Amino acid sequence: MKRYIGLLICFIIIIGAISHVGFNFYNDVLSFLFVAGGSVGYGLLKNQNEKFIQNCGNGAVYFGWFGTLIGLIALTAGKWENWGDIDKTGLALSVAMLTIFYGYIIKLITLVFKN
């Protein structure tokens, strides 16, 4: 029961911080799918059925950082021709960092279900 209460408290704090900035800045389906898919893939890769949820949580964090690195490389390489345009660069940077956010959210959730 303590785990669920702890998760609820964490989510209330996170939602409070997000609502101050705006929920629309935290929505990117492709970033979430990248992290969630990597999470499950990593859980399967470890091939430890008894620790599958825990491994998924770890994989979510790893893929969150991978996603940010991929986004930063694409941003600085000029993939979208936005380098130097502060409005476009800022938006691209925020999307790149969302994968870390999603990774840690998934990790938080998996902490409740680990053995």
Q: How far apart are CA 68 and CA 24, in angstroms?
A: 19
Q: What is the pLDDT of residue 115?
A: 59
| pLDDT higher at 13 or 82 | 13
Q: What is the pLDDT of residue 96?
A: 86
- Among 101, 5, 110, 112, smallest CA distance to 58 is for 110
Q: What is the pLDDT of residue 105?
A: 95
Q: How far apart are CA 68 and CA 102, in angstroms?
A: 11
Mean pLDDT within 74-91: 73
DSSP state for residue 80 in the 8-state scheme: T
So where are the chain's domains? 28-113
Mean pLDDT within 74-83: 74
